[in-house]
């Protein structure tokens, strides 16, 4: 079995390279690198004991199946879901963290990573997209009520947990930040989505692009569906061949969140602090 420190170093290096490609290569992670990381991850898994190998493979399959379905539906990048698979194979169980001395629940490490990645990305989205908006961000007035209800729910949850001693200062800060960030994401939803997309002609599309069908009018969706029965969020080779000559622009996620960057943050945070839920529930 490989040394825990070496395994962690390999995992950090791999996820860091994913992040660099995602940030500096226009959200494009080379297929050869993605497949290579899965092969390396599987090789690392084979160095573990039999029971850990089986556990690692099962967790990887549980991650891979819904991840693939989300990819085919255009809700997750192909590189992202295979990165999750690689992480699950390299480090199947949450190890003892570097800075947090409390005993960790032996849950799949990928759960810790997803929690930490989701936390960091929820902070990033409103700050980045609202600050980069060319126009003054517009509040979705019909969403203020929903956002306010959610914010109040977080406040009530924190109050109850504090009253029964299930949460400390760190937990209050973490949940408070999540609640506030979620509030801004909800009330500025339109401005945030607008900052993620770029209007492009079908001739400029690439296989693997994601179309923001949620920002399209029903008439436009009907128009493209009439041209191609395969019209959906994910741009496939067949869809490209059907609509390439159309002169009507489509909203495409060209400025979307570099999720691999936040997966990297999630890995580092989970290795240092452990599972985020244990930081909250102390």
pLDDT tens profile 206-249: 888 999 998 899 999 999 999 999 999 999 999 999 999 999 99
Count the neighbouring beta carbons within 10 Å of the beta carbon of residue 58: 13
Q: How high is the pLDDT of residue 87?
A: 97
pLDDT tens profile 105-115: 788 999 999 99
C-alpha distances out from residue 42 to 3, 57, 85, 94, Å: 16, 9, 9, 18
CA distance 38 to 177: 34
Q: Which residues of the chain are modeled with pLDDT < 50?
A: none
pTM: 0.88
């Amino acid at each position: 079995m490989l040394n825990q420190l070496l395994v962690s170093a390999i995992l950090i290096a791999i996820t860091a390279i994913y992040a660099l490609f995602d940030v500096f290569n226009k959200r494009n992670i080379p297929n050869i690198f993605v497949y290579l990381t899965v092969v390396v991850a599987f090789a690392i898994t084979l160095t573990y004991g039999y029971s850990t190998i089986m556990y690692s493979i099962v967790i990887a399959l549980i991650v891979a199946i819904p991840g693939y379905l989300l990819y085919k539906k255009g809700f997750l990048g192909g590189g992202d879901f295979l990165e999750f698979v690689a992480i699950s194979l390299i480090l199947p169980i949450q190890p003892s963290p570097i800075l947090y001395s409390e005993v960790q629940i032996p849950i799949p490490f990928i759960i810790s990573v997803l929690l930490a990645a989701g936390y960091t990305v929820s902070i990033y989205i409103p700050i980045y997209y609202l600050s980069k908006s060319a126009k003054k961000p517009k509040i979705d007035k019909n969403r203020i009520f929903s956002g306010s209800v959610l914010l109040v729910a977080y406040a009530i949850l924190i109050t109850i947990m504090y009253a029964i001693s299930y949460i400390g200062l760190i937990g209050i800060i973490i949940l408070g930040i999540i609640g506030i960030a979620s509030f801004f994401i909800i009330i500025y939803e339109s401005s945030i989505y607008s900052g993620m997309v770029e209007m492009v002609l079908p001739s400029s599309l690439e296989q693997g692009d994601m179309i923001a069908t949620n920002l399209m009018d029903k008439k436009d969706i009907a128009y493209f569906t009439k041209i191609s029965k395969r019209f959906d969020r994910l741009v496939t080779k067949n869809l490209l061949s059907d609509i390439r000559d159309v002169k009507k622009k489509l909203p495409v996620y060209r400025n979307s969140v570099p999720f691999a960057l936040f997966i990297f943050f999630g890995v580092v945070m989970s290795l240092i602090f452990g599972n985020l839920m244990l930081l909250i529930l102390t």
